[in-house]
Amino acid sequence: MSKIAFVTTEYIPYPGGVATYVFNAAKALRILGHDAQVYVFGSQGPGEDHNSEVPCHQLSLRKYSPKMLPIMALELFRLMVREQIDLWIAADVRCATVMGLLPSHAKKAAILHGTDVVGRLLEGLDRLWIYRPLRHFDLLIANSEFTKRLAIDNHPYLVGRNIRTSLLGVKEQRLPCRSRPLGGMVSIISVGRKEPRKGLEYAIAAMDLLPDNLRTRVTYRIIGRTVDKDYSDLLERMAATSKARVEIMGAVSEADLSALYDTADIFLHPSVPTPRAIEGFGLVLLEASAAGLTVISTLTDAIPEVVAHGKTGLLVPPADPEAIAAALTNLLNDSNLMRNMAAAGVEHASCFTWENHVRPLLELL
């Protein structure tokens, strides 16, 4: 049994992708028989109340800012000297920037999620030519081939480094028993933060482009917390004037979200490419497939690595309401197609496990 430590600035219940990643990866390592634990810097973590499945240590409750980096470096140095760890894992670019500076007899790995590799922190360090943190790790794990290519394109010094792609996993979900009679009512959902890169305005516009006989069968719900208030207000205005039934919801509990998945038929994820915010993997799409929903998404970033177009879902060009409406029309007019894609999606999602994701990390030991 090896001792493995994740260092992160985000952890559950904070609703971020890094937080979800750390919990699931650490849990998978423990399932495989290793002593995995988590160390959290900053306020985006569990505080005193944390999930007992994975041991978690809060190193600081201060809200993260770049000014914290020297303090993080000192605290992490003390931690790495004090603890007998076989593998240290920097779960985000902030922690990688600090960990890369520090000597260690143990192996070190860093996780690349997508947006981080085009972020201003690494870009600024590259420009200064003083310190390139990703050089100082035994292994870099990219969550998709897209993220790996993006990292190498933006940081050419990574050519020839030990950087591997390991696709993320999905938690097992119960597949609801759904009947989809042709001509019946259809529930469409989008789940995620309300921010411009999600492209939700194009989805609402697409609802108005559906033929009348199909639009009356549809209820479209947008579920998630507000990140950009102006954008959220735009969605509210569009929903209020839409000819379709469009509901804008906030963040909901896990139980309520599970119930919404259980009653939904189509998962719509109209993501659009943006320079500083990357769809490095698209875990929410995999979770939707595992839950038995038929997926419609866009040809954005790493999404084609998760959704097999024409088999487990439909992919359309980004920022194209007409293409979204056409994809919806195909599914609404063909319940067998919807059912077959949903079944293929469940099978496809079952191939993605967190245990498989963490195996390249174990090869360092």
pLDDT value at residue 145: 98
Which tokens go with 33? 């028989």
DSSP 10-36: --TTS-SHHHHHHHHHHHHHHHTT-EE
User: CATH: 1.10.10.10, 3.40.50.2000, 3.40.50.300, 3.40.50.11030. Which one for 186-349?
Assistant: 3.40.50.2000
For residue 245, the 8-state DSSP code is: E
H/E stretch holding 143: none
pLDDT value at residue 47: 60
Q: From CA 117, how far away is CA 333, in angstroms rounded? A: 42
Which tokens go with 213? 């006989």
For residue 68, the 8-state DSSP code is: G
Determine contact, residues 345/170, Cβ cutoff 8 Å.
no
Q: From CA 342, how far away is CA 350, in angstroms rounded? A: 13
The domains of the chain are located at: 3-165, 186-349
For residue 103, the 8-state DSSP code is: -
Q: Alpha helices of 172-311 — where are they, by DSSP H?
A: 200-209, 212-215, 229-241, 254-263, 283-290
Q: Is the Cα torsion angle 199, 202, 204, 207 positive or negative in sign?
A: negative
CATH topology of domain 3-165: Rossmann fold (3.40.50)
pLDDT value at residue 124: 87
Determine contact, residues 302/147, Cβ cutoff 8 Å.
yes
CA angle 236, 238, 241 (to 5 degrees): 110
Please list the pLDDT of the chain residue by residue as tens digits (365 residues).
Answer: 999 999 999 999 888 889 999 999 999 999 999 999 999 998 777 765 566 789 999 887 777 777 888 889 999 999 999 999 999 999 999 999 999 999 999 999 999 999 999 998 888 888 877 789 999 999 999 999 999 999 999 999 999 999 999 999 997 655 555 555 556 899 999 999 999 999 999 999 999 999 999 999 999 999 999 999 999 999 999 999 999 999 999 999 989 999 999 999 999 999 999 988 999 999 999 999 999 999 999 999 999 999 999 999 999 999 999 999 999 999 999 999 999 999 999 999 999 999 999 999 999 99
Question: Model pTM?
Answer: 0.93
